[in-house]
Structure 1
């Protein structure tokens, strides 16, 4: 290749030497970056996003070299990835063109797994490009010589921006970018995403007030995504959660058998463990070519699985979202999704793991685990065809992240308050930060606020005589650096064999329930619990056939609003006797029975059902707004009814609706049957007050405060080898919570805890929108003698909380026999 060629010609030449032609959207990114513009690139998975932005960075370097302005041999490009699992794969992809285009460049890797020797090498001889995570970048910002190390960074690329935008790691990224712009005002920033619904907003969140010249590039390639369903032969008319799951085992095995490499996605780690074990039990000949992958497994095990997928050595991998993103697995032919994906973006992301190259077809097959997931499958197919992708909401002013950042910057050379305030306000997250909030955060890190002022360890940042804020104590600095990653950390225990071999990590709450000799499934193995010591659970291989399955936090994913709307549209078609597609035809007996005994919910119809049983008075309501909204909605109605008459309620929710059960009679016909009565019960007036009164809001906020306290640096998790348990952390954070409530009621972290409960755990904004929509729907009210097909799964959901597995199975079987007899012609 001609090294003297112009930068655009050099980039074209590299592609031409391989018989490739750059896509138009790649050229648009190269041209925009060459002019110094930042932006967001949105393109389908496997379309070539990586080389679009990487060659833009190389083009800028070649341009500067040709102009003689390339006077730095230090770090020039930062590549931020949301997951460590993506880092090594990204590093390999970035290294491929360097020998021909930039032979003097080296790509480094820095994550929490990077050994200290490699970090020391990078400090002495920095690579030209560094693949890292938001947490590791914040750690770099906390070094005293951060300005010297990072002042020549010319371009930052934020991969999988949709994964970061909606959480506090995205805010951490915004603050880091603002700090880099402080040192390099002409910094070029590009974000990458394949699944975002609100692109202008996503660009604004990424770039902050630097968005004036921000470019939005969409790579519209003819990428075909095929979504279909493994339809069960005899779906039940009375479904309940998981009842179809293992019945679909043989169809899943047949699909895997027909293809060379298959990814089997589940929504939870518990589900992944179960399916991996069931597949291996059914096909022991797959031992060695069937693998398991989720975020709690040891990094070495995950790396082995990823390499096996790339090489085509593995027949199938059962995985959670740990393989959703970015990693290039060309050999994967098929993707199966166990259960509903709950969102269009997640479905498209997972479909893109197959056919991961321009021009190839991506195919995903849905495997329902209960009959009503056929409805979600039909809705998902409709939503994908219409490309209705969910929008992401970005956090607004999380003060715990700001407090952490203040200490980070104070460690990284110090700051002047007025300068840093201006810098922070340039981010989207803190664009509306008030002077009062800023002064509170500054006072909190300098004195511990009103209630901690007498404790020296909370005077983490102090001004010197020149007005520069710095960290006064080396021990405080060490503790802070160890806490920077707490934005994503979980209270987890290590799992090791008694000989010391590490298997991964499990949440402490699961281990706490085990007694010596208990069996459980983990990492695709049956294990026997031996003992726990210092946040480590020691195990040995078990010999039995049964075992409990660990439950990790974050397992419940609510139905997205886009998928919910599509489901209601399908139900509206069914109400008009239209059942398009194999999913709806298979579901027809269930829907016809629901319509015969009650009615079908729809976009303009709210169905309410009430009945009496030996347990009491039941109300079933079907808003189709997702389980988080239904928790708040059920609590709201229970509170408002309880304010009118003495009554206590048991609540059960799923993604389609909720059940309220009262031991005492409730006249729901008087409360709901007329539009005026329903309007009074479903009004948005006093919504916040009533939701907080209807829930144990203080306890919810206390639990949420634990995470806030960790991020803000109030609670120290311990030094390596001396980690504190989740119980200790909860006790420590609860103590702070109580102290602040009693002696510092204006502490803004308390308000943040309450706000996060409302916004994230209860989706208050969506709850308000749902209430408004419900009052505009026609109410179809029915007094029944028995549960309908839509009400039955809610009854089972409530019973599941109260009964053992065996008792639940017997109870469900008896109920099913009674209902099927009643439904018989």
Structure 2
């Protein structure tokens, strides 16, 4: 259908003035809106997805009739990132301003000022751009039903980044709530990277995937992806890509603006520091990650928008959506871990559909070179990583039930029906729902004698409501499904009684517990001296002349995706694919085949060899650090029972190395890796492990059993940990089937332990373990042996010299 038959004249003229034609998927989204249908749009970056989502709302608002009463919010836009919500607000104002539309569009995030928030509550904008956490606050307001009564559309941007998580569970519940407030509300999802659209449609819809239509945008120009071979060689081991920094700097000099992506905050600080040391020409290079202050992040974002920066070193905070215009290159330092994530990151370069985006991968080691090559091939073939379907978490549901009670009294049966209309909770049993409500109202059987856990109460009318105003206030101060490590404010100040100075950001509390006053570290791209920690503040002072003690904090590390792991195994097995690899990596693979073996596609290679006074077992599952850590823990328990005397282990995304006092080559290796280790062995380990307490703490915070923030104060991470540890011990003794213990076990299995993936791996290798007994270390084992050295060596010049000598000795031994 031609654009003139669909777009109103004012909009036709605006497109023409910009030299554009409305794209087919933009017109298709308009058709869906006019039919009152919800839709999921999957289209490449630069294809005008955001405009496609907003276009029906802009047309509807431009044609609305005057009314006597003030209108409420017409369109609610949900972004996974605060920066993206603000950026979309800025971009949305362009068509509104240029067409002279009388439409008010405003963002509301955690960084929005209180006066603006208060005004928005009294006078809602037509289009409100916000985050899932702010929506949770909205839904816990007394007047939420009236505030959203006029809601016509909810747009969920970057849907792929939200749905497969507890954050997605909570948003799905809030969408169900909004549908009760505004029955005719449409739901719109936007994404560039979805492997299985039906899963997202089921999550987004109010009645399964059939309630959400699928709209596909035409493909754009394929990206240009290169893998950097620095100086013609690839290091045997490492994870920072420090060896390639000089070449990365030269590449930055040759680009307009480059985004240098890394996977952790530690890597961001490290890479930024190294680039500054090389920056003899004084290029404007900035740093952006989630621990920096909101003010500093906004400064970087504004400078990017003005085209004033040559490079930004960043983490996932800049993964999505933001249109920087001048960015013409994306550099990924170290391995990408997932093809979908890299498609998202590459889309930040050259934000135009018809021109290719350019990206350079910089592997930090030889195993990472295999991963980078596999990721580059997957991206060019448009093969993406997938996520399994989610079942809604019960701790999230507990938070939602409390939020509903804060907003208005609720009927148990009506709320149950509402909750089941949310995709992740469509199969929720009445028994589990009752257990959640009982938990919110009493804390559960073992805690019901404690008055503080009574948060909702039934009234004479049979409806459930919040117990009192203080309970409501405490809930609103603790909403959300993101549980980050306990943090402290990093402030400039010193002395015995430091006064709160300028805040430069936040960092994990546990990191500062490792420091003593006088230690130096890198933060926000500068060197600081740690002075003291008082309450929730860490006081620091500039130390520009000192060599820093590098920070070990880093936020979460992405796991290697199952899909990429499979491609890496295939690449190693198929020698015809080696031609795409550098000569030294090809030689490494060839020597591994000669000295030991290469694992088959569905095999697991297992090597045993002596070295010094120890005996080593090294296996290569290629299934990610989480699954490997769990497997290593369980293997050490079994080896201990067998009297082998395991001394320790290290693992990475590709392999595991265990060492012991006795040989392991004569063991029944098939029995050692039997799937039954996921039964009693796993349960026994979890009973002893601190990991369950940490997981329980996260569930308790999400469910509202423990609050971090109180009116006028905030608990430190240590106080929260102490409280949750006490409750955990009580529940384990007196109510082992407590709702939160169930949640903690499920979370540990799917998150910290990756038990499902480990189970798949053990099933895959059953009867396919290829054991090679060696007399010395193999080429593949060298990186693991070097990681053992890094774990034990001191962090000084002498330690570096020891490691360098050890590396030379190991390589010589493996290649002899």
**Helix, strand or coil at the partner of 1:285:** coil
Deviation at 1:346, TM superposition (A): 1.3
Residue 248 of structure 1, aligned match among 237, 244, 248: 244
**Helix, strand or coil at the partner of 1:39:** strand
**Helix, strand or coil at the partner of 2:445:** coil
8 A contact 2:77–2:128 mirrored in 1? yes
Task: Summarize the Cα distance change of 1:573–1:585 in structure 2 as closer, same or farther, 3 Å threshold.
Answer: farther
TM-score normalised by structure 1 residue count: 0.93
Q: Does 2:387 align with 1:392?
A: yes
Q: Does 2:254 align with 1:258?
A: yes
**Correspondence for 2:488:** 493
Residue 723 of structure 1, aligned match among 690, 714, 720: 714
8 A contact 2:222–2:380 mirrored in 1? no
Deviation at 1:703, TM superposition (A): 0.8
8 A contact 2:44–2:220 mirrored in 1? no
What are the within-5 Å matches in structure 2 for residues 52-71 of structure 1? Answer: 52-61=52-61, 65=64
Q: Any idea what the Cα deviations from partners look like across 1:101-147, whole Å, max 9, x if unmatched?
A: 67222012211122221122112211001001111111111111111
**Correspondence for 1:550:** 551
Q: Any idea what the Cα deviations from partners look like across 1:661-708, whole Å, max 9, x if unmatched?
A: 112233x34423xxxxx2x33333462333333556642111111111
8 A contact 1:799–1:808 mirrored in 2? no
Counterparts of 1:626 and 1:351 in 2: how far apart (Å)?
A: 23
Counterparts of 2:504 and 2:445 in 1: how far apart (Å)?
A: 45
8 A contact 1:44–1:223 mirrored in 2? no
Deviation at 1:438, TM superposition (A): 1.1
**Correspondence for 1:713:** 704
Counterparts of 1:231 and 1:300 in 2: how far apart (Å)?
A: 37
In structure 2, stretches of 5+ residues that fail to align are 494-499
**Helix, strand or coil at the partner of 2:707:** coil
Deviation at 1:772, TM superposition (A): 1.6
Deviation at 1:294, TM superposition (A): 0.6
Q: Does 2:107 align with 1:109?
A: yes
Counterparts of 1:119 and 1:236 in 2: how far apart (Å)?
A: 52
Counterparts of 2:120 and 2:562 in 1: how far apart (Å)?
A: 45
8 A contact 1:165–1:393 mirrored in 2? no
Counterparts of 1:79 and 1:85 in 2: how far apart (Å)?
A: 13
Q: Any idea what the Cα deviations from partners look like across 1:459-482, whole Å, max 9, x if unmatched?
A: 111111111111121111111100
**Helix, strand or coil at the partner of 1:454:** coil
* Larger CA deviation: 485-494 vs 708-717: 485-494
Deviation at 1:458, TM superposition (A): 1.6
Q: Does 2:615 align with 1:639?
A: no
**Correspondence for 2:356:** 361
Counterparts of 1:189 and 1:281 in 2: how far apart (Å)?
A: 49
**Correspondence for 1:407:** 402
Deviation at 1:812, TM superposition (A): 3.0
* Larger CA deviation: 97-106 vs 493-502: 97-106
8 A contact 2:782–2:814 mirrored in 1? no
Following TM superposition, the consecutive aligned residue runs of length 4 or more in structure 1 with deviations greater than 6 angstroms are 68-72
* Larger CA deviation: 22-31 vs 207-216: 207-216
Deviation at 1:92, TM superposition (A): 1.3
**Correspondence for 1:675:** none
8 A contact 1:506–1:550 mirrored in 2? no
8 A contact 2:167–2:481 mirrored in 1? no
Residue 737 of structure 2, aligned match among 727, 737, 746: 746
What are the within-5 Å matches in structure 2 for residues 184-199 of structure 1? Answer: 184-199=182-197
Counterparts of 1:718 and 1:519 in 2: how far apart (Å)?
A: 30
**Correspondence for 1:527:** 528
Task: Summarize the Cα distance change of 1:236–1:368 in structure 2 as closer, same or farther, 3 Å threshold.
Answer: closer
**Correspondence for 1:688:** 679
Q: Any idea what the Cα deviations from partners look like across 1:806-825, whole Å, max 9, x if unmatched?
A: 46534433333333444567
**Correspondence for 2:596:** 598
Q: Does 2:758 align with 1:759?
A: no
Q: Does 2:578 align with 1:579?
A: yes
Task: Summarize the Cα distance change of 1:394–1:133 in structure 2 as closer, same or farther, 3 Å threshold.
Answer: farther
**Helix, strand or coil at the partner of 2:706:** coil
Counterparts of 2:514 and 2:45 in 1: how far apart (Å)?
A: 42
8 A contact 1:30–1:56 mirrored in 2? yes
Residue 213 of structure 2, aligned match among 208, 212, 215: 215
**Correspondence for 2:18:** 18
**Correspondence for 2:36:** 36
What are the within-5 Å matches in structure 2 for residues 370-519 of structure 1? Answer: 370-393=365-388, 395-485=390-480, 487-498=482-493, 500-519=501-520
Let me know the Cα RMSD of the aligned residues: 2.3
Deviation at 1:100, TM superposition (A): 6.0
Counterparts of 2:461 and 2:510 in 1: how far apart (Å)?
A: 49
Counterparts of 2:613 and 2:29 in 1: how far apart (Å)?
A: 63
Deviation at 1:425, TM superposition (A): 0.9
Counterparts of 1:308 and 1:318 in 2: how far apart (Å)?
A: 14
* Larger CA deviation: 462-471 vs 643-652: 643-652
Count, aligned residues: 806
**Correspondence for 1:277:** 273
Counterparts of 2:524 and 2:711 in 1: how far apart (Å)?
A: 24
Counterparts of 1:6 and 1:614 in 2: how far apart (Å)?
A: 77
Residue 734 of structure 1, aligned match among 696, 717, 725: 725
8 A contact 1:106–1:129 mirrored in 2? yes
Deviation at 1:609, TM superposition (A): 0.7
Counterparts of 2:711 and 2:318 in 1: how far apart (Å)?
A: 28
Counterparts of 1:605 and 1:448 in 2: how far apart (Å)?
A: 48
8 A contact 2:334–2:361 mirrored in 1? yes
**Helix, strand or coil at the partner of 1:484:** coil
Counterparts of 1:481 and 1:768 in 2: how far apart (Å)?
A: 39
**Correspondence for 1:771:** 762
Q: Any idea what the Cα deviations from partners look like across 1:174-221, whole Å, max 9, x if unmatched?
A: 010000111222210011111221211111112142533311112122
Q: Any idea what the Cα deviations from partners look like across 1:312-335, whole Å, max 9, x if unmatched?
A: 111111111111111111101111
Counterparts of 1:217 and 1:351 in 2: how far apart (Å)?
A: 22
Q: Does 2:793 align with 1:803?
A: yes
Q: Does 2:91 align with 1:93?
A: yes
8 A contact 1:33–1:60 mirrored in 2? no
Counterparts of 2:163 and 2:677 in 1: how far apart (Å)?
A: 31
**Helix, strand or coil at the partner of 1:372:** helix
Deviation at 1:801, TM superposition (A): 2.7
In structure 1, stretches of 5+ residues that fail to align are 673-677
**Correspondence for 1:295:** 290
**Correspondence for 2:779:** 789
**Helix, strand or coil at the partner of 1:429:** helix
**Correspondence for 2:321:** 326
Task: Summarize the Cα distance change of 1:137–1:420 in structure 2 as closer, same or farther, 3 Å threshold.
Answer: same
Counterparts of 1:276 and 1:485 in 2: how far apart (Å)?
A: 31
Deviation at 1:528, TM superposition (A): 0.8
Counterparts of 2:509 and 2:126 in 1: how far apart (Å)?
A: 41
Residue 625 of structure 2, aligned match among 624, 627, 630: 627
Counterparts of 1:622 and 1:342 in 2: how far apart (Å)?
A: 17
TM-score normalised by structure 2 residue count: 0.94
* Larger CA deviation: 483-492 vs 159-168: 483-492
**Correspondence for 2:496:** none
Counterparts of 2:470 and 2:711 in 1: how far apart (Å)?
A: 15
**Helix, strand or coil at the partner of 1:630:** helix
Deviation at 1:623, TM superposition (A): 1.2
Residue 808 of structure 2, aligned match among 777, 798, 817: 817
**Helix, strand or coil at the partner of 2:231:** coil
* Larger CA deviation: 814-823 vs 31-40: 814-823
* Larger CA deviation: 711-720 vs 310-319: 711-720
Task: Summarize the Cα distance change of 1:553–1:258 in structure 2 as closer, same or farther, 3 Å threshold.
Answer: closer
Q: Any idea what the Cα deviations from partners look like across 1:737-781, whole Å, max 9, x if unmatched?
A: 11111222221110110111111112222111111211264x432
Task: Summarize the Cα distance change of 1:36–1:419 in structure 2 as closer, same or farther, 3 Å threshold.
Answer: same
